[in-house]
Chain A
Amino acid sequence: MARYLARRVAQGVFVLWAAFTASFVILYLLPSDPVEIMLASTGSMGELDPAAVAALRAEYHLDDPFYVQYGIALGRFARGDFGTSIPQRVPVTQLIGEAFPETLRLAAAAFALALLLGGGTALLAGLLRGGWARRLLLSLPPLLVSVPSFWAGLILLQIFSFRLGWFPAIGNQGAGSVVLPAVTLALPTAAVIAQVLAKSLLSTWREPFVVTARAKGGSRPGILFRDVLRHASLPGFTLVGMTVGNLLAGAIVVETVFSRLGVGRLVEEAVSAQDIPMIQGLVVLSALVFVVVNLAVDLVYPLLDPRIRPSRAVRA
C-alpha cells in the first residue's frame, strides 16, 4: 500500500510538472504580452510609454530568452511560488489562497446537492416499474444538462432574490449566500449523475444475480437497495473525478453571475488580462485538484468493489 501510494504521488508530481510546462509553453508562444495589455487598459489608446513597457518587462523577466524565463519559473514552481500577478501586483499564491476556500465551499455544497438530487432522481426512477412518471423523471436530466448555468443562475436570482427576497443576490457572507449559486452549479452535475446512475441501475436490474433475487421473491425496493445499488454505484463513483472538473469550470460562470469571490473569478480575470503568473498558478491548482480527487477515488474504489483489491490477493 505504501509503495502504491508513493508511486501515485510521484505520478501526481509528474502531472503537475507537465501541466506547468505545457501552460508555460503555450503562454510563451502567444504574440502579445501582458505588460502591454496592462498599460493599454489603464492609459488610453496608443499612449504606451516605451520606457514603462521596458521597465515592467524587465521586472517580470519577459525580456529574457525562453529558457531563462522557464528556468526562473520552474525554480519558483518547485518552491510553490508562482510569482506576482501582473495587473494586481500581489503574489499569486496569496490571491489563490484567499479565493480557493470560497470556491471549495461552493463546490462542496454543490457536489453534495448534486449527489442528493442526482442519486435521488435515479433511485426514484429505479423504484418505479415504468409508466409516465418514470419517463418524466428520466427526461429531467437531459433537460437540466442543456440549460446554460448562466441563464439558470439569472432565473433563480430573479425569483428567489429579486422577487421573493429569500436569499442575497451577491456575496460570500452567510449560509444564505451559498444556496442559489450552489443550486445553479449543482443542476448540470446532478443531471449527469442521475443519467449515469439510472442507466447503470437499469442494466444491473437485468443481471443474473438480480434475476435470482427476484425469483426468490424479494421486494423491488429491497432488491434495489440491497443488491442493485451497490453494484450500480461503481460507474457513478468513477464519475466523481470528472464531476470535479465540471464544478471548477462551472464556477467561472456562477461566481461571475453571483458576484462571488473565488477561483472562477480569478480565472476569468487572469485570462482576459493574459496574466501569465496567475494563469500558471491556476492551471497547476486545477491539476492538483484532479490529482488529489482521482487518487482519493482510486483509494476508495477497492472498498466498493472487491474484484479490484490487489493487496488482498497477495495477503491471501
Chain B
Amino acid sequence: MSPRHALLPILGVTTALLTACAGAREPSAPAAGGGSGGLTIAVSSFQACLDVALSGGRNSTVTHQILDTLTDQDPKTGEIVPRLAEKWEVNDEFTEFTFHLRKGVTFSDGTPLDAQVVADNFTKLAELITLAKSDTLVLNALNSFQSAEAVDPSTVRLTFKLPELGFLRNASDPYLAILSQATLAKTPEQRCAGELVGTGPFVFDKIVKDKSIVLKRRDDYNWSAAGVAGHQGAAYLPSVTFEAVPESSVRVGGLTSGQFDISDDIPVTDLAQLRDAGQTIVSKVVPNLVPGMRPNPYSPLGSDDAVRRAVQKGIDRAEITGTLYPEIYQTPSSIVSSTTAGWKDFGTDLAYDPEGAKKLLDEAGWVAGADGVRAKDGVRLAPKITYIVGNFFGATQQELELVQQQLGRIGIAVEIKANTPADNAAMLKDISKADYDFLTGSGASKDIDFLAGLFKKSNAALLNAEQPELEAKADALNEAATPEARTAAAQELQHYTIEHGHWIPLREQTKVVAVSPAVSGYLLDTYAAHFLYDTKLAG
C-alpha cells in the first residue's frame, strides 16, 4: 500500500458523508409566512394529539382554527353568543338543550352541517368516554349526558340526566366542536394524527409531526360568529404555519429577525427586549383554577386547619407577581382566575397578613424554637411542598423560593421538593402514603362547574379523605339547579377554600404572545387561544 492510500479510507468516508449531505438538499425553504401573505407562528410545543376532544393538553391552539362550536363566548363580556347554532332553548330543569342550527354551513369535505351529524357527534363523544379515549374535560362536560336526537334537519336536542347549568358555555369550548360524519368514523389514532374535518375558517394543509403544521384558508367560509369575529366571509390570511420551537430564546430571536410573525409563550424576562425591538405584546389571563398549592389531607401539617390558614395569610402574592412577573401578571384575587366565569373578587381575604398568621399559629400552640422555626408536640412546622420541574401550569421553583422566604419570616420552614412528571404521577397514586404536605398545580379551564370535581373527595389529590364541610360545599355547586343557586354555591366554595386554605393561590396564569408590527387584527380568545380569523399581515 503506497502512503497515499493511507488517506483513502478517511477521504472515502468524508466524501460519502458529503454526498449524503448533498442528497439532503431540497428546494430552499420559504421565508417567514410561507410566502404570499401567509403567517408564521412559533409555538413552544407540538401537540402530541391534534384532536382536542381526545387529548387536549392546554396548548391546543392549532386545532381551534379548523373547528367551529355550537356556541361562542364574547371575548370582552364572556356572554354566550350563537355560532353554529343560531338560537337555542333550554328547559327549566337545565336537562334539555334544543339547538337550531345555522343553515348553509358545510364541512370542508363538502358535506352539509345538519342535525343528524351534530347528534352523532355527541353520541360518538359519549362512546369515546366509555372507551376511556376522551379528554377528561369532555368527560366532565358530558358527565350526565343521556341522548342526542335530530328533531328535524336543522334542530337537535341534547338530553342530560342532571341539570347542566354550564353546558351552553361548555358548548363554546373547542373540546365539543362539531366534526364531519367521515371524521366520526375514524379511529382515535387517525384523529390524533390530524385526520379531522370541521367547519372552521381554516383547514389542515400539511402536518409534519413534531415540527410544523400548515393551515390554509377555506375560501367559501361564511359563518363567523357575529359579535366575536370582526368580519364576515373567508379569513384574511391565505395560510398559517405553526412551527414548534421549544427554545424560548429562539422564539424571541426569530421574531425580532423577521423569521416569525408571532411568537407564543414569551418569558417575562424577554418582554422589555421585545418591546424595544418594536414588537407588540398581547396577553390574556387563562381561565382556570389558578396555579397554587393544595394541602395533603393525610399529612399532619396539611390536615391542620391553623397551619393551612396561616400559610394562606403568610404568602405575599403581590411580591411574587412583582418580583417574578412584573407588568403583565396580576395578583390572584380568588382560587379561580379573574377571566373564569363565576369568579368573585376575594382579594381582601388573600391579602398578605403576617401578623394574623403568627397569631393563628400562636393560638394553635405552634411555638418558635431556638432556630426560629415553630414546633408543636415535637413536630417541626416544616411543610414539604412539591412542584413539577419545567411545568408552568403549576408553581415554579422561583415562586416556591419566594414562598419559602415569606413563610420563613413567620416561623414556617418550607422544604421544596422537585418532582418529575413521573414522580408526581407516582405520588398521586396513593396520597395517603406520599411524603408531602402541599402539592402544586392548577385546574382545567372550564365553566365554574369544574371546581366541584376538584374539591370532592373522589378527586385523586383528596383520595376519599373525610372533610365533610368541603364536601358539602362542592356538592352544593354540583347540585345547584338554578343559575342563582349555582352562582351562590360557586362563590361560597371559593370563599370556603380560601378561608380554610384548601387551595393556596400563587399567581394568575397568563398567556403572553409577542406579535410583529406587520400583524393586525390578532387577539387571544376567551380560552387564551390564538384567534386568527380577523388577522391580517402587511407587506
Contact = CB atoms under 8 A, between A and B. Distances in A.
Interface in B283-332: 288-289, 294
B375 interface: no
A116 B258 CA distance: 33
A214 B462 CA distance: 82
Interface string B398-427: 000000000000000000000011111110
B28 interface: yes
B6 A169 contact: no
Contacts of A258: 250
Given A88-B48, A162-B253, A169-B253, A48 B428 contact: yes
Contacts of A171: 29, 211-212, 243
Interface in B4-28: 6-7, 9-10, 13-14, 17-18, 20-28
A43 interface: yes
Contacts of B450: 44
Contacts of B244: 259
A226 interface: yes
A170 B250 contact: yes
A45 B20 contact: no
A256 interface: yes
A89 B444 contact: no
Interface string B423-439: 11110110000000001
* Range of interface residues on B (Cβ < 8 Å): 35 or more
A44 B27 contact: no
A158 B247 contact: no
Interface string A30-62: 111100111111111111110111111000000
Task: Output the residue of B29, B49, B132, B212 with the most chain A CB within 10 A.
Answer: B132
A172 interface: yes
Contacts of B453: 47
B7 A256 contact: no
28 contacts: A31-B422, A32-B429, A36-B429, A38-B55, A40-B428, A41-B421, A45-B428, A45-B461, A46-B459, A52-B136, A54-B132, A88-B192, A90-B193, A112-B21, A154-B250, A157-B250, A161-B259, A168-B29, A169-B254, A171-B211, A174-B25, A229-B6, A233-B6, A257-B250, A259-B243, A261-B211, A272-B420, A273-B48
In the complex, the 6 A-B pairs of residues with the closest C-beta atoms, listed nearest first: A46-B461, A230-B6, A43-B136, A45-B441, A52-B132, A55-B132
Interface of A: 30-33, 36-49, 51-56, 84, 87-90, 95, 98-99, 104-105, 108-109, 111-112, 115-116, 119, 154, 157-158, 161-163, 165, 168-178, 182, 225-227, 229-230, 233, 237, 240, 256-261, 265-266, 269, 272-274, 300, 303-304, 306
